[in-house]
Structure 1
């Protein structure tokens, strides 16, 4: 492996560049640079396969360098060197596909171990496949991704119609790892995760997260998940493996079953919610999102439930219900005899959840306004005044959501069907539809579910099957011609979906129609 060292500190550059151990792990240092710009100039001449770079540097920092490499030299691996106070900053590196980061002071055995793991092919897949998976995961997890590009990659990997579960394997007390004699490398953790997953039958992806590893489990092709216990069993073995191999503990949060890989951000959110209970359950916890309801019965307070209900009304931009919820909170505060500090913390949590909602919906959050609001609420000493402040704040938030999300629900659903009428034969996804309607895709999904009772994928299948039945009643075309006309690319897939939806095969449905029924239906359709 050819290595380029990038660090603005000459002592570190020279120390790493002159290590005698490189030869033992079959590596050669082909160059040393003092910043990102200098590194980019050297890459064409030296042809490195791995760049080991500091984050904070003049002229061009490590993150900027990684962005350039990802765009122009995606085959080059990047490893970060980070001081502990750069830890938050270094989390951004995970989105850029950085393979690992090593904390300062640098422990040479840890560095060499990460490089060796990289050489061995941690993911046990070919380079092109690994790069494409990393790119797709980054697109799906990014707050502002490229929906069209992601859709192409999803179709290429043939996972668009498969359910998923998302597990988050997170190092316990990760923020304190710098105090450990032997910090747990994310590369090592990923290797352990992959080793544990490789023998289970499901397709899976893994991805570096800020404190651990994201694992995505796909349903077996053509079938549903079984009992749902498989990820729990895998997680149990994984927690044991990590403890035995590294001496560190990890906890695992597991999402519900989700309709497709497009819901991966929702799955990650659910997994992180699970890990919020680690403080109660302790290290090495395994928590599923389905089990949270049972945990909440004994642990979630009335105040927490009220906040969840309140934010739900803000999400739907329901001003009347927001006001009603705030009145209920006001009465609860008076009845409970809360002191000023508790009330202020309660109000601060409401603001925090509102900002989190904006981030989830991909709405811009004005940081200055956020800070000012937090300061303002701690200035109120009268409960009625504080509740009026919250009412104004949440009212404006609901107005913003209504303006950006087009909350006229029946009109939106009608526009969905109008779009399907005109584009039935084309490739249609929830993302492409939301872009056409200029509506947040998560919000659109909820509207469709609320108005029709089914999710978008089932709605699309039902629409196409109803269209096919209409054509059959009119006696128009052969089965394979009708399949193509209503948007199916594969006649056999059309037959499977038709039978699952209608209860009989297309030919069976056609044979069941009497001439009189065909005439009646045809005249009705016209």
Structure 2
């Protein structure tokens, strides 16, 4: 409901407007009617109505003077002038005073209703616009912390010009800073015991808790704090002209942050401290050096404060000291020597840790190992899909690990999976070869010249290995299996045909009928003649 007042020195007009209009139906609440401009002005100051309907000609203060006061002090109040004077001068003054409507009397109730609907529509639209602006202002205030973080991130990661820096510091009300400038970057190693049982919202809560400790610990002058899109925490420390003292100050801050997060949140962070710079415009150099130091977590492990001064001061060892690492590991994997492969991985990782080599070089060497393992699987025709770890191995996977210890564990798990897959693959291949050998026997049992050598050539296996695995898969030797097939076929022929004994012997692979009879009796306990007679008797019964 919009509040409205009526101002007219004619009582009949005021009473008529009050009684003939259903104000609530049109969205208005009539809060008063007044006989002159002075009384109306007092009501305006007291009640702040949204609409004033006023005559022009009134004692003490006329309608145009009232309109002038309202326009000057309450420009949002709308005013409608009702007058019996049809003069252009009045209309001009009303326009200058931003009066909403200038209506000539007499006016009908229907015209007043249309006028109220029109004014209410305008007021509704203005209210919507004000609400939208209010919402935008509210959203802007809510977004200011994030916008400030993005400004500081651009300042550190990309770099800004002097004018843009000054504008941003003023807009976000950032404290003044002065050289030298040093950047430290805090990265969460993992969430400790919570790492494998945290939901995403739990992880977000833990990151927030870590940042809260970060802010509380570093709530000092000349320190600018923000979070990056990669969920790292960054502090820009300034105001110390002595570089050595600045490094000591930042290292102390960093160690305090690391200690408090480990103590109160039960997980660890690694902190990198970069090079100092003398100008805010050169801050990206300091930021990038801090990130590069953070990478040395790969060699030195988690839960540390790492400084560029410490890293640059250590000599590096050539990565070429063990050039055959990948070849030896591939050989151990191919032969199924898991223990040897694990020892090679442990030795290689230990060498990398002590090398202080460039991080990119370490990743390249590990990628060389990964490539060697993948090639081993391909050479042995192992399907990568047979093992989830082997399938996940790729040259880019190494970058998802933060330490060499994690890479060592991953490589060992990969080796275990690959060796297992190779063994399964060999077992499957052997089963296929034995299956081919059995099919060959069952198809060619009548060949009295069949030999072990013939069978091995067909199955593509050596005689010694074939003899070993054939008995493992069938439970009998090649000769025993062949004899069993021949005797079984002979039984069928004796039972279902009238062939002579020597003919049956020849059909099942025996040229000598006597030898056939001896073998048959040995396996069945009776001669071929007795076996046939028994079958005939049982059939007749």
Q: TM-score, structure 2 length as denominator?
A: 0.30
Structure index of larger Rg: 2
